[in-house]
Amino acid sequence: MKNYAIVTKELTKRFGDFIATNAITFEVEQGEIFGFLGANGAGKTTAMRMLCGLLKPSSGEAKVAGFDVYTQTEKVKQSIGYMSQKFSLYEDLTVKENIRFYGGIYGLSNQQIKDKTHALLQQLNMEKEAGHLVSSLPLGWKQKLSFSIAVIHDPSIVFLDEPTGGVDPITRRQFWDLIYEAADRGVTIFVTTHYMDEAEYCNRISIMVDGKIKALDTPKKLKEQFNADSMNDVFLQLARAKS
Amino acid sequence: MLPIVVENIHKSFGDVKALQNISFTVEEGELFGLIGPDGAGKSTLFRILATLLLADKGTASVNGSDVVKDYRTIRSQVGYMPGRFSLYQDLTIEENLNFFATIFNTTVEENYDLIKEIYEQIEPFKKRPAGKLSGGMKQKLALCCALVHKPKVLFLDEPTTGVDPVSRKEFWEMLQRLKEKGIPILVSTPYMDEAILCDRVALMQKGEIMMINTPAAIVADFGKPIWAARADNMYHLIRDIRAFEGTDSCYAFGEYLHVTLHQPVEELKDHLKAHKGLIITPAKAGIEDAFMQLMQEQNEAV
């Protein structure tokens, strides 16, 4: 039997008369890189907040890392990592202080924090910058650091909400190296992006339009299905079809 | 009289060199793109041209007026859409537009032909406060407000950042139509794929212009053969190609990797023969390939 990191069934969220997320059903396998795409306002953020245990669904079911998003939200939060473009490290704390702070938040012991700090600085090649304020780091380094901190408690799933916006093309690709590496270790990656070339790096992709999942498959199969050269074409066909 | 002339502009904030020796011109009716990531200096340059910030060194003129001496003239002649949404959130669409028209001593009716096409798309929501609009609608309203006084030059600072591909495409279609009306446009973007929609572009990184040219010429100048590679396990493929001694660069590009080599491609194929589903074919360079190559040269020069 397959091991699922995320399972949803008819997951729905209403705000008054407005249905932000409309009965979405999908599964994400453990260790998969899953791209969660959609136009602005398609309902991605709402869906993601429900999966992170931050927003109670109106109806439907969802399990994340085996935990129920209605009744076990604390367990869900402990099992996931989260990073967004806006999610910021504390700019006026040093690199090391940020690591210690988030390690503490996630309940790691002092010894674990010490070990993690060492391993993480070495992996990021940032040992020299350990005592530097985060505000002094280039944007690309901040992003790599915030990704590493998002997985400091070894979550089985990490949610990345537009992690690469505004980043230069080399740093953007180095960031994806980190994503690949984590997936190779078996971490499930749930990622949103507006860069359609990045959609190609995912194992599977879902595309949301007006609150519903309109397509879900591997990039290769989606391109075949829509007779398109690139994921950008697929996206334009789907998202434009609505109006 | 050229719409925009920038000569040897420098600007620092403390130790940070935001702009270094920036020079370029924008021709009549041209759509000119500033292409670069966050921190390239794009917004600083816009603020200098919009007369909101003084340069440390150098000169610039907009429509023949100097950005320091003639700042009042410039302010009445340009349309400026800043990177951060800066309309009044608690005024409606209609109220915002009327407000900006009044500020510039004009009326919405007077220049309606210029904004008609864009305004009609948001008109059904004209009684809605700007703060309650979707990203795409905010962007259209901001463009209308920047155009309502019929500016002689249009400045658009990252109008498509964080916007989905559909809205981005629509926005660029609007820009093309504005360009056809003869308005010179200076637009910035971090999305490399948008460069090809400009007449000419400046590729910017860390406060410097690395290259100015037409998108076609930049791509034609790339000068090295590029190979597109893929295999069943892309992560292992990247690692193995980077470990190959003949590799100059290897980056992910959508479903393929783009590879440049200083050894024959046959040797790379031999090095990778254990990979399942391996495909290596010649590829064409894009703006992003050129940008990354220039970035590497810039980094090596430091």
Instruction: Say whether residue B163 is in contact with chain A using an 8 A CB cutoff.
Output: yes
Instruction: Say whether residue A58 is in contact with chain B using an 8 A CB cutoff.
Output: no
Cβ neighbors of B295 (< 8 A, separation 6 or more) are: A168, A169, A170, B205, B210
Cβ neighbors of A243 (< 8 A, separation 6 or more) are: none
Instruction: Say whether residue A161 is in contact with chain B using an 8 A CB cutoff.
Output: no
- pLDDT confidence bin for A42, thresholds 50/70/90: confident
- Asked if the interface predicted TM-score (ipTM) of this complex is over 0.85, the answer is no
Convert the pLDDT of each residue in B260-286 to its tens digit: 999 999 999 999 999 999 999 999 999
Rounded average pLDDT over B116-120 = 93
- pLDDT confidence bin for B39, thresholds 50/70/90: confident
Q: What is the CATH number of the domain that holds B61?
A: 3.40.50.300
Rounded average pLDDT over A166-175 = 87
- Clarify whether residues B152 and B17 are in a common domain: yes
Q: Which chain B residues are within 8 Å of A189, Cβ to Cβ?
A: none
- Clarify whether residues B120 and B245 are in a common domain: no
Going by C-alpha positions, the residue among B54, A76, B227 that lies closest to residue B237 is: B227
- Clarify whether residues B84 and B190 are in a common domain: yes
Instruction: Say whether residue B291 is in contact with chain A using an 8 A CB cutoff.
Output: yes
- Clarify whether residues B30 and B63 are in a common domain: yes
**Partner-chain contact A231 B235, CB within 8 Å:** no
Q: Which pLDDT value is given to residue B245?
A: 95
Q: State the nearest Cα–Cα gap between A129 and chain B, in angstroms.
A: 18
Residue B293 lies in a domain: no
- Clarify whether residues B144 and B272 are in a common domain: no
Q: Which pLDDT value is given to residue A137?
A: 87
Q: Which pLDDT value is given to residue A88?
A: 73
- Residue whose tokens read 């990039």: A219
Residue B297 lies in a domain: no
- Clarify whether residues B169 and B238 are in a common domain: no
Best mutation target, A194, A195, A204, A214, to test chain B (most B CBs within 10 A): A194
Instruction: Say whether residue A15 is in contact with chain B using an 8 A CB cutoff.
Output: no
Q: Which pLDDT value is given to residue B255?
A: 86
Q: Which of B177, B193, B214 is the last residue of a domain?
A: B214
- Clarify whether residues B151 and B69 are in a common domain: yes
Element (H, E) at A103: helix A95-105
pTM of structure? 0.87
Q: State the nearest Cα–Cα gap between B2 and chain A, in angstroms.
A: 30
Residue B164 lies in a domain: yes
Q: Which of B187, B214, B241 is the last residue of a domain?
A: B214
**Partner-chain contact A231 B254, CB within 8 Å:** yes
Convert the pLDDT of each residue in B136-194 to its tens digit: 888 899 999 999 999 999 999 999 887 888 888 889 999 999 999 999 999 999 999 99
> Roughly what angle, to the nearest 10 degrees, separates helices B165-180 and B112-122?
160
Share of chain B above pLDDT 70, in %: 100
3-class DSSP state for residue B43?
A: helix
Range of the domain at B249: 224-284
Q: Which pLDDT value is given to residue A241?
A: 66
Residue B278 lies in a domain: yes
Residue B302, pLDDT > 70, answer no
Residue B34 lies in a domain: yes
Convert the pLDDT of each residue in B181-239 to its tens digit: 999 999 999 999 999 999 999 999 999 999 999 999 999 999 889 999 999 888 899 99
Q: Which of B191, B214, B237 is the last residue of a domain?
A: B214
- Please provide residue B129's backbone torsions phi and psi, each rounded to the nearest 5 degrees: -60, 145
CA separation for the pair A69, A54 (Å, rounded): 9
Instruction: Say whether residue A173 is in contact with chain B using an 8 A CB cutoff.
Output: yes
- Clarify whether residues B115 and B143 are in a common domain: yes
Question: Can you list the domains of chain A with their CATH numbers?
Answer: 4-88+155-241 (3.40.50.300)
**Partner-chain contact B37 A168, CB within 8 Å:** yes
Convert the pLDDT of each residue in A45-63 to its tens digit: 899 999 999 999 999 999 9
Full strand arrangement of the beta sheet holding A18-29? A18-29, A4-15, A59-64, A67-68
**Partner-chain contact B162 A194, CB within 8 Å:** yes
Share of chain B above pLDDT 90, in %: 84
- Clarify whether residues B20 and B147 are in a common domain: yes
- pLDDT confidence bin for A166, thresholds 50/70/90: confident
Question: Total domain count for chain B?
Answer: 2
Instruction: Say whether residue A211 is in contact with chain B using an 8 A CB cutoff.
Output: no
Q: Which chain A residues are within 8 Å of B136, Cβ to Cβ?
A: 40-41
- pLDDT confidence bin for A242, thresholds 50/70/90: low
- pLDDT confidence bin for A243, thresholds 50/70/90: very low
Cβ neighbors of B235 (< 8 A, separation 6 or more) are: A180, A181, A183, A184
Distances (CA, A) of B130 to B83, B91, B94, B133: 16, 6, 9, 5
Q: Which chain A residues are within 8 Å of B161, Cβ to Cβ?
A: 165-166
Convert the pLDDT of each residue in A113-148 to its tens digit: 999 999 999 988 899 999 999 988 887 888 889 999
**Partner-chain contact B135 A201, CB within 8 Å:** no
Strands (E), chain A: 4-15, 18-29, 33-38, 59-64, 67-68, 80-84, 157-161, 188-192, 204-209, 212-217
Q: Which of A242 and B250 is assigned the larger pLDDT? A: B250
- Clarify whether residues B246 and B153 are in a common domain: no
Please count the CA atoms within 13 angstroms of the CA of B246 that sit on its side-chain side.
13
**Partner-chain contact A169 B295, CB within 8 Å:** yes
Q: What is the CATH number of the domain that holds B276?
A: 3.30.70.2070
- Nearest CB neighbour to A39, from listed B161, B167, B191: B167
